[in-house]
Amino acid sequence: MKNIENKSTFVSGLFGRISQKYDYLNTVMTAGRHHSWRKLAVKLGLPYKKGVAVDLATGTGDFSFELLNYETIDEVISLDITPEMLDIALDKARQKNMDQNVTWLVGDSHFLPFNNDSFVCATVGFGVRNFEDVPLAMSEIARVLKPGGKVVILEIVKPSNIIMSKIFFMYFRKITPLLGTLLARDRAAYTYLPDSVGNFMTSDELGNIMDQSGLKNVQIKKFALGSMAILIGEK
């Protein structure tokens, strides 16, 4: 419990510092592709049933906005541990005229403040690797999903191929801190990013945890030389 609290406090503070530059740096580091990745993730994992979705580690809300483009999603509950990120998400929602269909909550994905069987869909974009206890968070996600509901995860992962992994981290560990220093004036925050991926797991390992958490029919789509993955599971 203490480790979770410490990691959550650290992550909240870090993303609070870079919140104003987060969207811009995301676009630069992915060459703008993160938008199309989210679109693909939602398209692949869209639930069959109509209802309410929950977007965890929502950040500045891009996954939430993508969900609201589909008629099967009536409303999105968007949760993040960093208030500064949610402030930006709320401003974006107002600009997009989507603020009536989203509820923004400060909260920790390890301890979800929702009843069992509440949502037809749960999404996590670039957030799972920041969880201190991934099995606990996955179990919480499974708990709040309705039977037949889907979880959709978009994440940077360790490439399973050893050669690709070495090439990826050689680039990632040099370029990302440099961009963070030049564009966000925060080298430490953008040193954490490649470190968090290096300390994370492969997409197959994450898929196994989803399976062990009570999710079934887990599917994995890998791309970007195996460094990116979309994982979909069903309750």
- State the pTM of this model: 0.93
CA atoms within 13 A on the CB side of 227: 17
Q: Which pLDDT belongs to residue 210?
A: 98
Give the per-residue pLDDT at 93: 96
Q: What is the chain's pLDDT, residue by residue, as a tens digit (235 residues)?
A: 768 888 999 999 999 999 999 999 889 888 889 999 999 999 999 888 899 999 999 999 999 999 999 999 999 999 999 999 999 999 999 999 998 999 999 999 999 999 999 999 999 999 999 999 999 999 999 999 999 999 999 999 988 777 777 777 777 778 887 877 877 788 887 888 888 888 899 999 999 999 999 999 999 999 988 889 999 999 9
pLDDT at 193: 82
Of 231, 211, 204, 209, nearest to 220 (Cα)? 231
The residues near 162 (Cβ < 8 Å, ≥ 6 apart) are none
* Domain extents in the chain: 2-234
Q: Can you identify the CATH homologous superfamily of domain 2-234?
A: Vaccinia Virus protein VP39 (3.40.50.150)
Q: What is the pLDDT of residue 131?
A: 97
Name the CA radius of gyration of the chain, rounded: 17
Give me the numbers of helices (H) and strands (E) for the chain, helices first please.
8, 7
